[in-house]
Amino acid sequence: MKTEQADKYREDIVALLRAEKLPVEDLPLSLENFFTEMADGEIVGVAGIEIYGDYGLMRSLAVSKSHRGIGLAGKLLQQVERLAASKNLKTIYLLTETAPDYFEKKNYEKITRADVPPVVQKSSEFSHVCPQSAIVMQKKLS
Instruction: Give the domain ranges of the chain.
Output: 2-140
Per-residue confidence of the chain (142 residues) as pLDDT tens digits?
555 567 788 999 999 999 998 889 889 888 999 999 999 889 999 999 999 999 999 998 999 999 999 999 999 999 999 999 999 999 999 999 889 999 999 999 999 999 999 999 999 988 877 887 899 999 999 7
Does 3.40.630.30 match the CATH number of domain 2-140?
Answer: yes
Question: How many other CB atoms are there within 10 angstroms of residue 117's CB atom?
Answer: 14
Q: How far is CA 32 from the centre of its chain?
A: 13
pTM above 0.85, yes or no: yes
DSSP 135: E
What is the distance between the alpha carbons of residues 31 and 45, in angstroms, rounded to a whole number?
14
Q: Are 27 and 6 in contact (CB under 8 A)?
A: no
Question: How many other CB atoms are there within 10 angstroms of residue 37's CB atom?
Answer: 24
